[in-house]
Structure 1
Amino acid sequence: MDDTYRPRGEGPVESTHAAAQLLRADRPRARAARRLRLRDASAALDRLAELAARLLAAPIAQISLLDDVEVIVAGTGLPPGTVGREAPLDATACAVPAAEGLPVVVPDVRDEPRAADLPQVRAGVVGAYLGAPMIDADGFAVGVLCVAAPTPRTWADTDVATLRQLASAAVAELELAALRTEHERDRLRWGLAIDAAGIGTFDWDLRTGELTWDARLIAMFGYDVDSFGGTIEAFNERVHPDDLPRVTDALQASIAARGDYEAEYRVVWPGGETRWVQARGRTLADETGAATRVLGAAYDTTAERAAGMRVTRVLDAMPAGFYSLDREWRFTHVNAEAERLLQHSRDELLGQELWTAFPAAVNSVFEESYRTAVRTGTPVHFDAHYPAPLNGWYELRAWPSPEGLSVYFLEVTERRRVQDRAERAAQRLALLAQVSAELAGALDAQTATAHLPRLVVPALADWCIVTVVDPDGRPRDVGYWHVVPSSRALVERYAAVRLDAMPATAPLMRALLTGEAVMERTEAVRAVLADGEARDLLTALDPESAIAIPLRGRDRTLGVMTLYYRRGWTPRDEDLATAQDVADRAGLALDNARLYGQQRALAEGLQRSLLTEPPEPDHAEIAVRYLPAAEAARVGGDWYDAFLQPGGATMLVIGDVVGHDTEAAAAMGQLRALLRGIATYSDGGPGEVLRGLDASMALLQTRVLATATVARFEQTDDERRRGVTRMRWANAGHLPPLVINPDGSVAELATWRGDLLLGVDPDALREESVVTLDRGATVLLFTDGLIERRDADLDAGMARLREALRELADRPLEELLDEVLHRLVDGRPEDDVALVAVRLHRQDQPRPPEAGPNRVPDVVPEDPMSPVPG
């Protein structure tokens, strides 16, 4: 764990009380926490708390801010009323990571002396704890992001790394909220300052005669909205009679010349009060050159004429920068804030052309926006970056006027920095979430790992190649991607030939051997490559550097993710940490896939070892199938059986032990052996066999539940001559058989009734049913894994099975079973699937070749379908 930060240069605190004392003494930290405790960030903090709980699979997540007390500002899994609550620092586990400035990992709170007196621990709410401090830009721990579980658990290194990244994102959100609040406050003050200038606007449409004033100008002339008539006569009525001719001449001159209008005059209110107004405007023309409207602005200069340059003083006192330019782009006014932001005094700027004083503005968004405002007569609003020596981001509003252009601006560099930091943190978290989803949802871990380059490029590197180690220990490149489409063919070819050209000293090989990341300059990699195609391809791709990050499993390195960086790209520490996190998740997924394969092979081997090949009685073709569940842990209790009884009858069995694990598979083996022993010794019918099995289970105390269907095929001489066979069967809570008649129709056995499961009542009566089958019929016994789905009921599954059997009725028996499995489970059943089927071929013809040889034990009568008593 990284020990680079401790707030006071001390070792770990010995108790929550000591941590609380340390935090109270650290006043700058307390002030920082108060500064960052903002409502604007609450929604983002709630999302981060939920993301922490989801990524770390923890039921509880909490974000706290710490100064003199702890304030819980966000969380999930907390009791109602917890968020917003204050608590003493002595009573919270979060004081320790905040005081130490490092993550605190507690797998079992019972082994942590510092947690003994905490209320949450005494109440049994918290059994395991992981907390990461929230470090602000000044290096202070202003809060803690923590997750907890009610029972002890082990926290992995990846859990700690993920929580630290989430804590960094929480601080970024808080800082961004603080800056946003400060920015909005400045904007409000800016707007109030503009309102204080008292500027009103007018628009006189020369075609319609309509005169439009804003509310400020209406009030300036002593009107209200209802009394202002919206005509030039309403304007003339208020202008002082001595000034009206001069003002009228100025307007007419502007209209005639399609030029500027400027006038200062007196306005006489109805009560006799006189005000001075300064007006400026411009006449606009249409495409034919005809004057169409006069636009302008006016402000009350009464106080200014009496007390001097009131507007100038207001502008100079504004918290925003302000400067004005004349029509030749020369500075005519610069306020005090503009002097500070532009790093030039007003004496240096006044009279100087904008493009000379700030040459980087030429051919930039500044020049384009300013000229657009002047050309169109409409204000513009934009954000832009000016390079050194200012090297800052600015928010600007530019207003055209007859004299030129007025510009108001604020520096927003810090806001942009925090916003970029928050966006980068969000992108990293989104990438980790996407990688986790891809690896968790993939059917094949190697396929998902091969897709990793498309996820990490271009977020973490310019291009990427992923290598995995095959079971025989040989590395193999399985995935690649380049941000530039035209370079992907080169990367593909490079991935195909590079491993054969790499010596053991290459970064990739060293990462595989050591399990540690290895970064090298491209020149060093090229130097160890043998002369040939691989070296030429790397030269053509021309990365500046590369880092080989191992994909680590629990006890071995299972691959390498190699990230390549173009010239001029220096990866940030947080990007490298994210890349390592991605690699660790991929390595764990590969390791899980390896263990899954081993477990699945073991379970499937056990299951198959308990099942045997069916007999081959005369003119009866028997086929069986067993397909284990797609999840290895679900292999277990399904079984089939087919055997001959001493009297010569053929008996089919299908069954399912309740449960899905290796214990269920072992129990299945016991029941299967008991049932075939009872049936082959007693020569009893299906009901008697099930009764005997129930009694044996009770005597042997197997303590399992199971379902089963037993069917016996019998035939008298008369039935043989008529070409029919009887099927006598009994059911212990299992699905009934299905019959495919010779004409292709599928019959359900309408008289069936499922008796109690095996293992419930050893004295339960077992009823038998009898159905007569024509030779050429096929009987199918199956377990519920064939038709059961999470998103559909058994009736829908039975309907799908009947439809499939109708369509496949004329297929050979082995092909029919394969196609049924393909259509209903597509090779990936959610549960075990066992099938046993018999096709009763016609006895007046030779045994068909597809039925195989006729093989029966010597102790069975020569006529295997001879009559059987009962």
Structure 2
Amino acid sequence: MTRTGSDVGVPELEPEVFDRAIVAVALTAGSDHRLVYYNDAFRALFGPRTKGAPCAEVFTEPNAARFVSMLDQVYRDRTARQVVTPRTTEGTFPGAPGRRHFMYSCSPVVSRYGPGVLAVAVDTTAQVDAAEAAERLLEQRQQALQRYEALMAAVTQIVWLMTPDGRITELVGGFEEFTGRPWRPVIDEAWLEGVHPHDRARLVRTWQEAAEGTPSMFVCTFRMRTTSGQYRHVQSRAVPVVREGEVVEWIGATADVEDQWRNRLRERLLARVATVSGADNVPDAFAAVAAAVVPDLTDACAVFLLPPPGMTGRNTPLTAVRVASTARTGLPPMPPITNRPYTVGAIAQQVIESRRTELVVFPAGDPPEGALSEMSRRWLRAARATSLTIVPIVIDSSVVAFACAAGCADSPPPGRADLALLGEILHEVREPLRQAIELQRTRHTALTLQRALLTATPRVPGAELAAHYQPASRTAEIGGDWYDALLLPDGSVTLTIGDIAGHDLDAATAMSQLRSMLRVIAYDRSRPQSPAESLAQLDRVADGLGIAPLVTMVHAGLAPGPDGRWHAAWSNAGHPPPLLLRPGAAPRFLDEEGPDLPLCVAPAMPRTTRHHELRTGDVLLLYTDGMIEVPGTDIGEGMSALAALAEECRAAGLGLTELCARLLASVDDRRDDAAVIGFRPL
């Protein structure tokens, strides 16, 4: 059965609870008001009725149309209605008690039959027959009926009645057993002391909103301190009882909903940390973890990354780098994230060694000295922290990081359930964190290898030479681009720029092999070769040894000539073309006939050497595709932008080193590593 929007979350009514009730109770279901239940009291008052049929067919008495009309109204707007003027039944069925008077009410309910209406009828014959006694009995039964109906919408555990002036009475006890505090006859600030500090203002505000103006149902979920000192979530529901337009009392119930609330929180937090699987690097991964648990589980969270195993000496103090942190609104801002290592405090050291979570509780704003890093203590003092939970993050039997969760201001320490849930959330992200950490370590190794091979450019008499390399801004994109410059004994120089398919440690390793082999080929002047011949020889060796799947590069030889000119000869293996900057002329890409095939594709195919004369003041730039490939744009746009910026820098009189640096810095979101090398005759 489908519930209406207003019925979602309302407990299903079990009609059998009315089997022995002294009042007549009937239950209908659906918009046609099928009669699906009535109790013995109903049968005794109104006689047997056909179940499963619409009420319009079941109740055929002359005045029954008004009852069916009320069913329509209550079912449509989900608002309870009652008839307090006595109605009369003639009792024509066998065994009928004769002429009887009754009053009835209709209330919206949800049962296993779906949305429907609960009709409750009270026999008022005695009241009608005995005037004064009947008036008193009528009022008592009316109040009992109203309370009975109100309780239908409340979760029945601690049931209470409150007068407009705040005096309350327990109808179904349990408050003192649950909280360890005596029941107070008046709700006051002392009663609110048992409510979690972060929930008090919201609880009071919700109550005021329900009581002001036209009173409405009060519903609020908040935390109450139990006899154990821990907090549990409870939900209070209350409805006003109105007589003659005035609220005469409130009747409500308070239930323990901790298990339901925690299950929903767990599902919500696990959904949040699922974003960690899409994190590009370690800081992003840990930032997703910290953001997931604040503010639902803790007031603030910071994650500290430890150095890899074996990186810290036996007698060297253990350090950690804060890679992520976040705090709820209203707390002091966290210090900026830096790469600065901090000495691990004694408590964190103990957590790392034992691999067990530690909870430290202390007076507000007074964390223990010597047990925490000074940076942590400064922030905890400013935030008036009251507790700190340190959780180890264990991957492959090693503690790779630890998380610090702080309770601040007037927050009480976390309970066992909070600590268990925090540990579970951190446990769930181990696999994506492992991948991010391994990727970071691989990237670090590749960068180390790459930077070791990308040596400084040589000094070239009669020319200026400069080169720059920039790794990608994304963790996964690293390792394939390189440049090289080699000064030969005859005064000529070779320039090479290249890009190997793949962006990982394998690509960096292949780059180092190709660079070394091409250097040997170029330096061996016993058999002088053109750039095309050098690349062809390198292609055959690289393919035969299976060094790389695909390589693009430009290999150029520049020889000094008369009048300060330099003769440039180059061969292009599937790479972006060289860019020529010449004073008084527009920038020009030297790609008239297009490049040859990349290396490791067809080693037997012939290669071409192209030539150009460079004059004093000319600038020849070789670059990788990371300089011209911008997400969302055509590569032609990237080439045009590169040429325009390079010419702007040349015209501004920038030195070649600064010009190359400016070109690299021009790409904001670098998805690939990039390299550029420039040559200018003096």
Task: Report the Cα offset of residue 746 of structure 1.
Answer: 1.5
In the alignment, does 2:505 pair up with 1:662?
A: yes
Give me the identity figure in percent.
Answer: 25
2:553 is aligned to 708
In the alignment, does 2:526 pair up with 1:691?
A: no
* One-letter identity of the residue aligned with 2:576: L
In the alignment, does 2:402 pair up with 1:559?
A: yes
* One-letter identity of the residue aligned with 1:640: Y
Task: Report the Cα offset of residue 736 of structure 1.
Answer: 0.6
CA distance in 2, matches of 1:587, 1:785: 33
In the alignment, does 2:641 pair up with 1:783?
A: no
* One-letter identity of the residue aligned with 1:668: M
Secondary structure of the corresponding residue to residue 217 of structure 2? strand
Task: Report the Cα offset of residue 473 of structure 1.
Answer: 0.6
1:623 is aligned to 466
1:515 is aligned to 355
CA distance in 2, matches of 1:758, 1:386: 68
Distance 1:548 1:192, change over 3 A: same
1:839 is aligned to 680
Secondary structure of the corresponding residue to residue 755 of structure 1? coil
Instruction: Report matched runs for 1:5-404 at 5 Å.
Output: 180-182=11-13, 189=27, 301=87, 303=89, 307-311=99-103, 333-335=142-144, 338=147, 358=168, 381-384=216-219, 393-394=236-237, 396=239, 401=244
TM-score normalized by structure 2?
0.61
1:733 is aligned to 574
Pick aligned residue for 1:807 from 648, 652, 667: 648
CA distance in 2, matches of 1:184, 1:795: 75
The answer to whether the Cα contact below 8 Å between 1:551 and 1:586 also exists between their aligned partners in 2 is no
The answer to whether the Cα contact below 8 Å between 2:86 and 2:103 also exists between their aligned partners in 1 is no
Secondary structure of the corresponding residue to residue 311 of structure 1? strand
CA distance in 1, matches of 2:332, 2:15: 46
Distance 1:331 1:369, change over 3 A: farther
Q: CA RMSD in A?
A: 5.8
1:761 is aligned to 602
Task: Report the Cα offset of residue 778 of structure 1.
Answer: 0.4
Range moving further from structure 2, 666-675 or 436-445: 436-445
Task: Report the Cα offset of residue 614 of structure 1.
Answer: 3.3
CA distance in 1, matches of 2:411, 2:538: 78
The answer to whether the Cα contact below 8 Å between 2:573 and 2:596 also exists between their aligned partners in 1 is yes
Distance 1:653 1:666, change over 3 A: same
The answer to whether the Cα contact below 8 Å between 2:164 and 2:249 also exists between their aligned partners in 1 is no
2:515 is aligned to 672
CA distance in 2, matches of 1:535, 1:691: 64
Distance 1:406 1:467, change over 3 A: same
Distance 1:427 1:755, change over 3 A: same
2:296 is aligned to 459
CA distance in 2, matches of 1:467, 1:443: 15
Distance 1:656 1:314, change over 3 A: closer
Secondary structure of the corresponding residue to residue 666 of structure 2? helix
2:156 is aligned to none
CA distance in 2, matches of 1:358, 1:648: 101
The answer to whether the Cα contact below 8 Å between 2:627 and 2:674 also exists between their aligned partners in 1 is yes
* One-letter identity of the residue aligned with 1:655: G
1:427 is aligned to 265
Distance 1:706 1:367, change over 3 A: closer
Task: Report the Cα offset of residue 311 of structure 1.
Answer: 1.6
The answer to whether the Cα contact below 8 Å between 2:88 and 2:100 also exists between their aligned partners in 1 is no
CA distance in 1, matches of 2:589, 2:660: 18
The answer to whether the Cα contact below 8 Å between 1:646 and 1:683 also exists between their aligned partners in 2 is no
Task: Report the Cα offset of residue 625 of structure 1.
Answer: 2.1
In the alignment of these two chains, the number of paired residues is: 535
Secondary structure of the corresponding residue to residue 333 of structure 1? helix
In the alignment, does 2:392 pair up with 1:550?
A: yes
Distance 1:443 1:183, change over 3 A: farther
* One-letter identity of the residue aligned with 2:538: L
TM-score normalized by structure 1?
0.49
CA offset digits 1:507-550 (Å, max 9, x no partner): 5553233121123553799897589x999998998877654333
Structure 1 unaligned blocks of 5 or more: 1-37, 42-175, 197-272, 278-295, 344-351, 374-379, 493-498, 842-870
The answer to whether the Cα contact below 8 Å between 1:785 and 1:833 also exists between their aligned partners in 2 is yes
The answer to whether the Cα contact below 8 Å between 2:305 and 2:400 also exists between their aligned partners in 1 is no
| Greater RCO structure (CA 8 Å; 6+ sep) | 2
Task: Report the Cα offset of residue 764 of structure 1.
Answer: 1.6
CA offset digits 1:74-125 (Å, max 9, x no partner): xxxxxxxxxxxxxxxxxxxxxxxxxxxxxxxxxxxxxxxxxxxxxxxxxxxx
CA distance in 2, matches of 1:703, 1:478: 35
2:275 is aligned to 437
Distance 1:182 1:570, change over 3 A: farther
CA distance in 1, matches of 2:455, 2:100: 110
The answer to whether the Cα contact below 8 Å between 2:282 and 2:440 also exists between their aligned partners in 1 is no
Structure 2 unaligned blocks of 5 or more: 18-24, 35-61, 67-81, 92-97, 110-116, 125-134, 153-161, 170-184, 189-203, 225-233, 336-341
Distance 1:557 1:337, change over 3 A: same
CA distance in 1, matches of 2:482, 2:30: 83
Secondary structure of the corresponding residue to residue 494 of structure 2? strand
Distance 1:408 1:730, change over 3 A: same
The answer to whether the Cα contact below 8 Å between 2:85 and 2:103 also exists between their aligned partners in 1 is no
Task: Report the Cα offset of residue 677 of structure 1.
Answer: 3.1
In the alignment, does 2:419 pair up with 1:576?
A: yes
Distance 1:541 1:634, change over 3 A: closer
1:206 is aligned to none
CA distance in 2, matches of 1:530, 1:726: 69
The answer to whether the Cα contact below 8 Å between 1:276 and 1:301 also exists between their aligned partners in 2 is no
CA offset digits 1:785-814 (Å, max 9, x no partner): 222244333223212212221221121011
Range moving further from structure 2, 364-373 or 452-461: 364-373
In the alignment, does 2:637 pair up with 1:793?
A: no
The answer to whether the Cα contact below 8 Å between 1:624 and 1:836 also exists between their aligned partners in 2 is yes
Task: Report the Cα offset of residue 552 of structure 1.
Answer: 3.3
The answer to whether the Cα contact below 8 Å between 2:320 and 2:344 also exists between their aligned partners in 1 is no
In the alignment, does 2:653 pair up with 1:653?
A: no
CA distance in 2, matches of 1:775, 1:706: 32
CA distance in 2, matches of 1:382, 1:598: 58
Distance 1:539 1:525, change over 3 A: closer
In the alignment, does 2:457 pair up with 1:614?
A: yes
The answer to whether the Cα contact below 8 Å between 1:449 and 1:586 also exists between their aligned partners in 2 is no
The answer to whether the Cα contact below 8 Å between 2:557 and 2:568 also exists between their aligned partners in 1 is yes
* One-letter identity of the residue aligned with 1:382: M
2:127 is aligned to none
